[in-house]
C-alpha cells in the first residue's frame, strides 16, 4: 500500500512539474507543489523499503 501511494505521489509531482512551464502566473505554485509531492513520494518509498526485507 505504501508503494502504491508513493507511485501516485511521484506521478502527480511529475505531472505538476511538467505542466508548470505552461501555467503562466501560477508556474511557481505548480513547481512548488510538484516538488513537494516528489519529495513526499521518495520519502514514502524510502520508508516502505524496510518492509520488503
Q: What is the pLDDT of residues 3-21, one digit of tens each?
A: 888 889 999 989 988 888 8
Helices 27-48 + 2-19 axis angle, to 10: 160
d(CA 29, CA 8): 19
The chain-wide mean pLDDT, for the chain, equals 87
Element (H, E) at 13: helix 2-19
Vertex 22 angle, CA 15 and 34, to 5°: 30
pLDDT value, residue 23: 85
d(CA 1, CA 36): 20
Q: What is the reported pTM?
A: 0.80
pLDDT value, residue 45: 87
Amino acid at each position: 500500500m505504501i508503494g502504491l501511494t508513493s507511485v501516485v505521489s511521484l506521478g502527480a509531482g511529475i505531472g505538476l512539474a511538467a505542466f508548470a512551464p505552461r501555467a503562466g502566473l501560477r508556474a511557481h505554485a505548480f513547481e512548488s507543489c510538484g516538488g513537494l509531492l516528489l519529495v513526499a513520494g521518495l520519502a514514502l518509498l524510502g520508508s516502505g523499503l524496510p518492509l520488503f526485507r
